[in-house]
Structure 1
Amino acid sequence: MPWHQQGRVFHRVLGDSEFALFAPSQTGVGDMFLHLSLRAPAHYFAPERVTLAWALIRKRNPLLMSRVVLVEGETRFSFTPPTHLTQDAASSLEFTRQPKQTLISSYMDGPRPLSDDVLSRLTISEHPEGEYQVFMCSPHFCGDGTTLHVCTHELLRLVSSTKTNDELRLDLQSPANWIDILPTSLEERLLVPRSRLSRAAFQVNYLQALSKELGGHTLPRIQRAEMQTAFEEVEFSQETTANILAKCKANGVTINHALVALSTIAWARCTDQSLELPIMLYTAANLRANLVPSHPDCSDTFLALAYFTISLPAFPPPGTGGVWHRARLAKTQMQNAVRSPLLPARALLSAASRARRPAPTSSHSLTFTPAPPSSELALRGRPEHSAALMGISLIGNLDRTYLRHEYGRDVELLSVGTASRLKPGGLLLLGHTFGKKLVLQLCWDTMGFAEGAIERFWAGLESAVDEFLVQA
């Protein structure tokens, strides 16, 4: 879906991947946030300087300044270059003194701060002793967690740079060729053969992949009251993290493979469901390496994800050796999915199927036009038992994104986390390393499950990590 220009307005139709996430976002579901704690000199976060930096980020990533509109039955991005970039940036920027937990709770459970007309917001919260909270949010159909991390890194780099405000303002005033900067949809850029024979082969392969999505465990969802989101995290020391990573390497896996295995083990230990059927998790793969090269000025803020599942035995493995074998099973499945040359084609078929799902009802939502019809592969291809237990997001080593040597003096990063607004009964497990420390996070609706069920799972996961990765 390429961009078209009419006068000063640029527009393009949402791709299937974007539309599949846009529809639920009308009720706020899937809206992402990133929270970063740091210490820094006060002049780095002076309002004028932050506004200029935020304006530069939005200029380089114009989806953040766009709107979503309905035109002739099509859901489109619409972008009109602002006359005053700093004023436009200021309208989506807030300075406050709210603590971390208040920022997260208000975002997850309060009124939706984003809308079809506001696709990004930035909040800077100042605290005593030079500590700041950076809180950035955007809908999931505009990107993923990585795009928020990259934008936050760029924000820190700009505000702490040696450039004066006048020099930043000059950068902001430089002309922009918007048609080169605006990103096309994933579907437009994926390297996938388009012949009729190729499409038929892809559909067969997609059915085969779906037939392997075997899982018989589900979370005990019971909506006991209005949704109330919890965001829990545990952080390991640098020394402990180094030992964990070394242990994983010695056993031929990464920490991500081990965490997938331990998640299933923790669930098996706390559930009363039958252990005969396997446990299935779903996760995402970055598709940017599969895209047709774009213009050098093209924004990196756009959605480029493919989803896949991992099915592992539910019965407890025999001892520590069995745990590492389970992690290697996870590794094999994850690598087979991510490295498959057919992953892009599966992503297109999956996105088309998800885009056709009915949109949630809302008195404030647009009227949706379904995506072009596609075969009902998902209905025919999956086995009878194909329930996923939960989603798991393992973004990896964030020290490769937050390049500390590019920041000014006296910037000390403390912690970072991302998650998305959930639907009632939602749950998401996340993991990353940051500052050479392993961090595990769990985000869930505390009122959406049987009382104590998720708390037992979280305690079991912490215990399993300690047992098999720390103590063993």
Structure 2
Amino acid sequence: MPGRTLTSRLYERQLGETEVSYFLPSREDGVNDMYLHLGFRALPHIARRSRVSLVWAILRMRHPLLASGVKMTDYNDVKFVYETPSTKEDALKKANENLEYQFLSKEELLNSYLNGPRTLSSERSSYLILSQPTASPGITPSTTPTGINGHNTHAKHTNGNEANSTRNTLNGDEHAVHKQEYDLLICATHYLGDGMALHQFAHDFFTLLGNHTEGELREILQEEWETRCDVELEPHCALPPALEHRLPASPSGDFSRMAARVDFSANQGKLVGGHSFPRCHGNKRHTIVPTVSFDEERTKKILKSCKAHGVSISSALFAICSISWAKTTDAKWDLPIMMYSALNLRPYLFVERPISDSYWFLSIGYFNVVLPTFLPKLEDGDLHKTFWHRARKAKEQSTNAAKSRMIISRSRLMAEERGARARVWAKEDDDKAAGRRKAPTKAPVPVDPGKVVSKPPSAALMGLSLLGNLDGIYKHDSFPDIQLHTLTTGSRQRAGGLLLFGYTFVGKLWVSLGYDQNGFDRAVIERFWYNVLGSIDELL
């Protein structure tokens, strides 16, 4: 419009307690900064920077937290700050500033992200890296592009203007062009969202990338800017609300609040665990992610076996870890093993008014699984019976956590506890960094030894991130000219970090162990990982 002055708009909102619990520890070195690596094959024009940057710009406008920074005034005043792009060209410019092309292998990408200088910051909450490690000559000719199941999908792109436009982008004879190998690394801070957001985003990214010409993407970009940036939005629609504002309201009244706290305390008191990996201190953190996949035929057999015993692969992996640890250690078999995992709270969200349609927000709770450590006498069939029994107990505990009628109040109280704890630790870290002395610790008050009640140990052996069947999120037929074949995910860890991942992807079961190689007794953790893989072979 002639003479019109275009300006950006500024939106802010406070971080919720769960978001704060992830933001504060991330400030120094990016603890919990997430990544998702996807290996794929595609024709060169599909992965061209001009095309990828358009998709990235579109998705940054649809999901504004990806383009937001964080402003912290004090520990109780931490805000997301989102400045809308003033034009679609501005949106594209900002997307390109947060997009990098490389020629690194998957291993080099992950090592740099996990162990090098931090990629993200309070000002940069997300980042994309696309790498082409090799030219990959001889891979599927473009004359017969195939989908993930090998079906010829060329017909979809050989009619009307779309076919002509696609051919024009090849800049040459399409019969001479071959698919190339690429690695995509999606980076995002954990206080922006969770694994469900990360994977849904990747699916949407490839759907846009694989089904539109650059001209069409430019039209979509313009439409998104006009809808989301060229109008004044209500604050609650501009940025997705925090988890605590999406959960159903807790019952009011002093009695209800007291009952919720008693339940929360009692539930936490059940968490008994007497095992942890022996640690090494003082070494520089170095995270590695050994990953193993099982072929489709083997995966089908594993899933069929789990189904026959009434459990999911997720429940089975809890049991695998308990058996593997028992094979690794010979101490404290009288104490149970405790493992923790994330609980997806999205099914419980409730809203009374229209809000942002973005799925990029953090929506997780937490639960624990406690299993015995001891192994039965190694007689025929005993170990298998014990394993499946523990898998069913893991399923029972997971189900009880997810279906408890107290899940809302427990999630709220856990968020409050984690937020308060994060603030205390953040102040301690900041005081230490600033050289401020701590107040002297008060001497303990003598107590009557006869009245001391010993508290059971509550050590967690490890965490498990069990993502389920990711092929339910990645609709591979939605982008038939892009062939996804590899997926690895995780986060930057603190010293001594450890997390096991399990999921199915492109019909295969994948298991990976992300851990600080210098933070543990190396012989113990390597023996445990060997036992995990051996137990899967033996018991599944």
- TM-score, normalised via structure 1 length: 0.91
Partner of residue 226, structure 2 = 174
**Does the CA contact (< 8 Å) of 1:181 and 1:295 recur in 2?**
no
Instruction: Report the more deviating stretch, 114-123 or 451-460.
Output: 451-460
**Does the CA contact (< 8 Å) of 1:214 and 1:383 recur in 2?**
no
Q: Which amino acid aligns with 1:150?
A: Q
Distance 1:169 1:99 in 2: 31
- Report the alpha carbon displacement of residue 171 of structure 1 after superposing the two structures with TM: 3.4
After superposition, residues 81-120 of structure 1 pair within 5 angstroms as: 81-83=84-86, 84-120=90-126
Task: Please say if 1:440 is aligned against 2:515.
Answer: no
Q: Which amino acid aligns with 1:209?
A: N
Deviations 1:365-387 (A, max 9, x none): 99xxxxxxxxxxxxxx9953111
Task: Please say if 1:161 is aligned against 2:163.
Answer: no
Secondary structure (helix, strand or coil) at the match of 1:247 reads: helix
Q: Which amino acid aligns with 1:28?
A: G
Deviations 1:36-83 (A, max 9, x none): 000011111111110010011111110011111024651111111122
Partner of residue 460, structure 2 = 388
Task: Please say if 1:147 is aligned against 2:197.
Answer: yes
Deviations 1:412-443 (A, max 9, x none): 11111110111101111000000110000000
- Report the alpha carbon displacement of residue 354 of structure 1 after superposing the two structures with TM: 1.2
Partner of residue 218, structure 1 = 276
Partner of residue 82, structure 2 = 79
**Does the CA contact (< 8 Å) of 2:57 and 2:221 recur in 1?**
no
Secondary structure (helix, strand or coil) at the match of 2:290 reads: strand
Deviations 1:243-279 (A, max 9, x none): 0000000001011110110101101110132110100
Number of equivalences: 448
Secondary structure (helix, strand or coil) at the match of 1:78 reads: strand
Distance 1:344 1:13 in 2: 21
- TM-score, normalised via structure 2 length: 0.80
Distance 1:462 1:416 in 2: 19
Secondary structure (helix, strand or coil) at the match of 1:444 reads: strand
Partner of residue 245, structure 1 = 303
Deviations 1:21-41 (A, max 9, x none): 111111211110000000011
After superposition, residues 64-463 of structure 1 pair within 5 angstroms as: 64-71=66-73, 74-83=77-86, 84-126=90-132, 127-129=134-136, 130-165=180-215, 166-176=218-228, 178=233, 179=235, 180-196=237-253, 197-223=255-281, 225-293=283-351, 295=354, 297-317=356-376, 318-357=382-421, 358-359=425-426, 361=429, 383-407=455-479, 409-463=480-534
**Does the CA contact (< 8 Å) of 1:261 and 1:326 recur in 2?**
yes
- Report the alpha carbon displacement of residue 194 of structure 1 after superposing the two structures with TM: 4.1
- Report the alpha carbon displacement of residue 448 of structure 1 after superposing the two structures with TM: 0.4
Secondary structure (helix, strand or coil) at the match of 1:77 reads: strand
Q: 1:382 to 1:231 in 2, by over 3 A?
A: farther
Instruction: Report the more deviating stretch, 218-227 or 42-51.
Output: 218-227
Partner of residue 374, structure 1 = none
**Does the CA contact (< 8 Å) of 2:326 and 2:375 recur in 1?**
yes
- Report the alpha carbon displacement of residue 297 of structure 1 after superposing the two structures with TM: 4.7
Deviations 1:87-128 (A, max 9, x none): 111111001111101110001111111111000000011132
Distance 1:259 1:382 in 2: 32
Distance 2:190 2:47 in 1: 27
Q: 1:239 to 1:382 in 2, by over 3 A?
A: farther
**Does the CA contact (< 8 Å) of 1:37 and 1:134 recur in 2?**
yes
Distance 2:385 2:502 in 1: 23
**Does the CA contact (< 8 Å) of 1:266 and 1:460 recur in 2?**
yes
Q: Which runs of 5+ in 2 are unaligned?
A: 1-7, 137-179, 377-381, 435-452
Q: Which amino acid aligns with 2:34?
A: M
Distance 1:459 1:174 in 2: 55
Instruction: Report the more deviating stretch, 275-284 or 296-305.
Output: 296-305
Deviations 1:147-206 (A, max 9, x none): 111111111111111344333333343321654242101111101324133221110110
Partner of residue 25, structure 1 = 26
Deviations 1:295-329 (A, max 9, x none): 37521000000011110001124321121111000
**Larger Rg: 1 or 2?**
2
**Does the CA contact (< 8 Å) of 1:181 and 1:298 recur in 2?**
no
Instruction: Report the more deviating stretch, 99-108 or 123-132.
Output: 123-132
Task: Please say if 1:44 is aligned against 2:115.
Answer: no
Distance 2:398 2:328 in 1: 25
- Report the alpha carbon displacement of residue 411 of structure 1 after superposing the two structures with TM: 1.4
**Does the CA contact (< 8 Å) of 2:61 and 2:225 recur in 1?**
no
Q: Which amino acid aligns with 1:128?
A: A
Distance 2:485 2:316 in 1: 25
**Does the CA contact (< 8 Å) of 1:33 and 1:136 recur in 2?**
yes
Distance 1:109 1:382 in 2: 40
Q: Which runs of 5+ in 1 are unaligned?
A: 1-6, 367-380
Q: 1:400 to 1:304 in 2, by over 3 A?
A: same
Partner of residue 4, structure 1 = none
- Report the alpha carbon displacement of residue 8 of structure 1 after superposing the two structures with TM: 2.7
Secondary structure (helix, strand or coil) at the match of 2:487 reads: strand
Q: Which amino acid aligns with 1:247?
A: S
